[in-house]
Amino acid sequence: MKFLDQAKIYIRSGDGGAGCISFRREKFIEFGGPDGGDGGRGGDVWAECVEGLNTLIDYRYQQHFKAQKGEHGMGKNRAGAKGRDVVLKVPEGTQILDEDGETVIADLTKVGQKILLGRGGNGGFGNAYFTTSTNRAPRRANPGQEGQERWIILRLKLIADAGLIGLPNAGKSTFLATVTAAKPKIADYPFTTLHPGLGVVRAYSREFVLADIPGLIEGASEGVGLGDRFLSHVERCRVLLHLVEGTSEHAGKAYKTVRHEIEAYGHGLADKPEIVALSKVDALDEETLKEQLARLKRASKRTPYVVSAASGQGVQEVLQALLSVIDAAKVEAQTVDTQEEWHP
C-alpha cells in the first residue's frame, strides 16, 4: 500500500490528575495544615500540517492515539505534571471530518497549520485549595476531569494546479511522465494507474503541479471500476486537462462518458475550467484523425488540442494553455483575497 488517502482513527485526550489530600506535620511546627497539591492537566490532541508527507500511510497500522494523563497532586503543595500532548502529523490538503464523514472539523491546506482536536481534562484541586477561614482542615480533593474521546476521519485531497482526467488508457500517465520527472506505471492495458500521482511541470520558466488520477469508466459514480473516489484529488485544481483517446471507437462518446461521471460526482468539479485534448494521435491516419476531432468538437463544444505524449506533438501548446488558465485563476484568487481584506 504505497498510497493511502483516507483513514479512520480514534483519539483521546488525557485525563486530568487527581488532587491530593495531605497535611503538613513536622517536628517543632506548631501549626500544620493542609498542603495537598493540585493534579496536572491531561495532554491535548493536535493535528499539524507538515512538509515531507504526501500520504496517510502512517495511520494504516496505528488507529488509536491517546494523550498522556496528568500526574496526581502530592503533598507539600506539589502540583502534578501536565500530560504529554499527541500531535498527528498530516500532509497538505488533509481534511479532518467527524465520524459521520460529512461534518468538516478542519481543512489543513498550508504547512504549519495546527488545530486542537481534543482538550485534556483539568487537574483536580488538592485539599489546600479548599482551605477557608472557617474550615482550616478540609478533607476533600477533586478528581481530575476526563479527557475527550472521538473517532475522526482523515481524508487527503492532493493540492495541484492542474488535474488529468479521462477514461483508462487515455494516455494520462504517459503525458505526466513526458512533462514531469514523475515515473508512473505505463502499460498497454486499462487501470495501470491505481493511485493518484503528482508531478512538477517546468515550462516557460515557470512551474506548476500536475495531478494524475485513475481512469473513470461508465458507472464510476455508482462504484463501477475503481469508482469516483479519486476525483476528490482534483477538487482543488484550478484547471482540468481532459484527455480523450484518439484510438477509441468514438471520441465524442468517450468524452461524454467522463463528463457524465464528473457531473454525477458534484462538488463543483463540473464547473472548473477544462482543456480538451485528443491523445495518441500518432497512431491515427489523417482521415481517422479528422473524423475523431470532429466528433470530439461536437461533444465538447470547443476546439480540442491534438496531443501525442509519446512523440511530443502538441505537448507545448497544451502546457501553454494550462499555464494561461492557471495564471488567470491565481489573479482572480488574489483579487478576491484583497477584497475580503478590505471589506470584511
For residue 273, pLDDT beyond 60? yes
213 annotated binding-site participant = yes
Spell out the alpha helix ranges (H) of 103-147.
Answer: none
Residue 310 is labelled as binding a ligand: yes
Q: How far apart are alpha carbons 160 and 238 in whole angstroms?
A: 8
| pLDDT attached to residue 305 | 92
E strand or H helix that includes residue 9: strand 6-12
72 is in an annotated binding site: no
pLDDT band at 311 (very low <50, low <70, confident <90, very high): confident
212 is in an annotated binding site: yes
Is the distance from CB of 54 to CB of 91 less than 8 angstroms?
yes
192 is in an annotated binding site: yes
SS3 call for 94: strand
Interval 299-319 mean pLDDT: 89
Tens digit of each residue's pLDDT (9 = 90 or more) over 312-344: 888 999 999 999 998 888 787 776 555 555 444
Residue 189 confidence (pLDDT): 67
Rounded to an integer, the average pLDDT of 149-160 is: 92
d(C-alpha 163, C-alpha 201), whole Å = 12
- Residue 283 bridge partners (DSSP): none
CA dihedral 59, 60, 62, 66 (to 10 degrees): 40
Euclidean distance between CA atoms 318 and 327, whole angstroms: 14
308 is in an annotated binding site: yes
Residue 336 pLDDT: 54
| Per-residue confidence (pLDDT) for residue 247, from 0 to 100 | 87
143 backbone dihedrals φ, ψ, rounded to 5°? -75, 160
Mean pLDDT of all residues belonging to the chain: 88
266 a known binding residue? no
135 marked as part of a ligand binding site: no
The annotation status of 170 as a binding-site residue, yes or no, is yes
Give, as one character, the DSSP assignment of residue 53.
Answer: -
Are the CB atoms for 186 and 262 separated by under 8 Å? no
DSSP letter string over 231-270? GGGGTT-SEEEEEEETTSS-HHHHHHHHHHHHHHH-TTGG
| 178 annotated among ligand-binding-site residues | no
Consult the annotation and say whether 152 binds a ligand. no
